[in-house]
Structure 1
Amino acid sequence: MADTRQTEQMTSGKGFVAALDQSGGSTPKALKLYGVDESAYGSESEMYDLIHKMRSRIITSPVFSGEHIVGAILFEQTMDRDIDGIPTAQYLWEKRSVVPFLKIDKGLLDEADGVRLMKPMPGLDDLLDRAVSKGIFGTKMRSVIDGASASGIAAIVAQQFEIAGQVLAKGLIPIIEPEITITISAKAEAEAILLAELTKHVDAMPADQQVILKLTLPETANTYASLVDHPRVMRVVALSGGYSRDEANARLSVNHGVIASFSRALTEGLSAGQPDAAFNEALGDTITRVYTASVAG
């Protein structure tokens, strides 16, 4: 079952969730933004070693701690590796007071009915058991909404909650992430449909269960206020979704009770070639800005 101190931190702790969960498809892009070109690695294994080195540098930085960061989402390969000889999830909680989560989805199916559902997850039970054994608190899974399709969004949310049930049965807390693409013309309409679908599903949950919702920053501030206050919702966190760090922070700061869960916006301005002092200063500045926006509401 979930650790009581971790539950308390995720429910009411001040700070944000660091998304360090780029996987196979997005890792080359993340490395390139960090200043590591594809020519620097010759295999998938070498690529994952390099991204783990980047994530380790972030996590071991003196500015990365529970003072400003309540949780961190890890990729499976990160969970399976160590930091300073300690398993990553254990290091996060014991050395940094940051609650560890694991990304569990296997990517997206092709777009259909205005949405991209998650691919099948063979071996999910085994992965969840491994996560429990490694001290993981919860999971994250992402699907994408590309249009204001009522039937498509209903299918997305139903799939998310079906998998969430499997996660909850293992004593883990699921982060449900039905991302709305920020460039679609009917974004506000899609948000209204998503709000109704999410509400229907959290209303139907047993009284002793909770989920975390990870949502695209809405067009109208406090669109998701009823979910922030819902007894079955532990927390509502926001993805940056392609907004610049400054715009993401500005949007976040006017959504009461919503905290950040940024990935690309978190690592903006960091590079492999930076001396540690410059790296820590840049990361610290970003953490302060994202923290400030997260607690502003």
Structure 2
Amino acid sequence: MAENKMLAQMSEKSGFIAALDQSGGSTPGALRAYGIPASAYNGDAEMFKLVHEMRVRIMTAPAFTGDKVIGTILFEKTMDGEAEGKPVPTFLWERGIVPFVKVDKGLEAEKDGVQLMKPISDLDTLLARAAKLGVFGTKMRSVINLASQDGIAAIVAQQFEVAAQIGRHGLIPIIEPEVSIKSPDKAGAEAILKAELAKHLDALPHDRNVMLKLTIPDVTDTYAPFAGHDRVVRVVALSGGYKRDDACRRLAKNHGMIASFSRALVDDLKYSMSDAEFNAALGHAIAEIYQASTVKH
């Protein structure tokens, strides 16, 4: 079954996960970075059409295959769209890439030094649709700004509560409690997060697995023990605002952790590039991130 092959790939294969999941609020910024200003489109429909075209250009590039890119996180509208006349999840899996979908609906206002996820309306409907389209898993993000015991405990509890709902649909949730790289005590927040994650992972039933998407830690190998945890399929890293060379340098020091980069993957890509220039720039980024994910110092 495809699910078993996808699980084996996500557990064992060398490579990294591409994050192509900028959603409503961050889409204008993603297009602007790509070289398309807000004045170039009118309304959400045109905006999402342009960002879908950008993502299809990435997904259909010669270097974007399962050789190095073992998974891709999609925005919901991208999951529902097509690439080369096929549903995007089908297209990706035919290229050897495991599809995921972002399910969170953004962040609450900060409380206790953290930003919880907003309620996810119609989550069961989205999960059922994702499963039908051949999607393997999900991703959901919340943010930790301060080394707050109560706040971080609340974030992790919420992540695992929603993860249980996702697991009931047969999907593997990527739990993403991002520690802001601007946190005044990032290492302290990461120590609290590690303890809270361990508590919840140890309490998971034997038939429920998760993935972890975490900010590259200040203390090297903070999260290395999770790579061997029975309930953890993979530990992946977000770039979190670090530039690609810095993110890759930090990632290469952390064992058992592969990349799941967004901005650090696409930063050099521009709308005005010829296909040859675009494919070369993307190929270089993929090679650099793959190296940091697979060759550890």
For the aligned pair, the TM-score class normalised by the smaller chain equals: over 0.9
Which residues of 2 match residues 16-165 of structure 1 at below 5 A? 16-94=16-94, 96-165=95-164
Q: What secondary structure, in the 3-state scheme, does the structure 2 residue paired with 1:3 have?
A: helix
Q: One-letter code of the match for 1:266?
A: L
Q: How many residues align?
A: 296
Structure-2 separation of matches of 1:79 and 1:172: 15
Q: CA deviation at 1:208?
A: 2.2
Q: Could you list the per-position Cα deviations for residues 26-68 of structure 1 after superposition, in whole angstroms to 9, with x for gaps in the alignment? A: 0000000000000111010100000000000000001100000
Q: CA deviation at 1:217?
A: 0.3
Contact 1:213 1:233 in 2 (8 A): yes
Contact 1:174 1:212 in 2 (8 A): yes
Larger displacement relative to structure 2 (202-211 or 234-243): 202-211
Q: Could you list the per-position Cα deviations for residues 179-227 of structure 1 after superposition, in whole angstroms to 9, with x for gaps in the alignment? A: 0000111100000000000000000001122100000000011001111
Structure-2 separation of matches of 1:126 and 1:174: 16
2:265 maps to 1:266: yes
TM-score (norm 1): 0.99
Q: CA deviation at 1:268?
A: 1.2
Q: What secondary structure, in the 3-state scheme, does the structure 1 residue paired with 2:261 have?
A: coil
Contact 1:2 1:171 in 2 (8 A): no
2:213 is aligned to 214
Q: Could you list the per-position Cα deviations for residues 124-151 of structure 1 after superposition, in whole angstroms to 9, with x for gaps in the alignment? A: 0011000011110000000000000000
Structure-2 separation of matches of 1:13 and 1:267: 23
Q: What secondary structure, in the 3-state scheme, does the structure 2 residue paired with 1:128 have?
A: helix
TM-score (norm 2): 0.99
Q: What secondary structure, in the 3-state scheme, does the structure 2 residue paired with 1:100 have?
A: strand
Structure-2 separation of matches of 1:101 and 1:180: 22
Structure-2 separation of matches of 1:209 and 1:296: 30
Structure 2 residue runs of 5 or longer lacking an equivalent are none
Q: Could you list the per-position Cα deviations for residues 216-265 of structure 1 after superposition, in whole angstroms to 9, with x for gaps in the alignment? A: 00001100111111111100000000011001000000100100000000
Q: Could you list the per-position Cα deviations for residues 62-94 of structure 1 after superposition, in whole angstroms to 9, with x for gaps in the alignment? A: 110000011000000001111111000110001
Q: One-letter code of the match for 1:60?
A: T
Contact 1:109 1:117 in 2 (8 A): yes
1:235 is aligned to 234
Residue identity (%): 58
Q: CA deviation at 1:2?
A: 6.9
2:250 is aligned to 251
Contact 1:2 1:172 in 2 (8 A): no
Structure 1 residue runs of 5 or longer lacking an equivalent are none
Q: What secondary structure, in the 3-state scheme, does the structure 2 residue paired with 1:112 have?
A: coil
Structure-1 separation of matches of 2:120 and 2:207: 26
Q: One-letter code of the match for 2:160?
A: F
Structure-2 separation of matches of 1:72 and 1:185: 31
Q: What secondary structure, in the 3-state scheme, does the structure 1 residue paired with 2:24 have?
A: coil
Structure-1 separation of matches of 2:220 and 2:117: 28
Q: What secondary structure, in the 3-state scheme, does the structure 2 residue paired with 1:215 have?
A: strand
Q: One-letter code of the match for 2:6?
A: Q
Q: One-letter code of the match for 2:226?
A: L
1:177 is aligned to 176
Q: What secondary structure, in the 3-state scheme, does the structure 1 residue paired with 2:249 have?
A: helix
Q: What secondary structure, in the 3-state scheme, does the structure 2 residue paired with 1:199 have?
A: helix
Structure-2 separation of matches of 1:241 and 1:222: 17
Contact 1:62 1:280 in 2 (8 A): yes
Q: One-letter code of the match for 2:131?
A: V
2:167 is aligned to 168
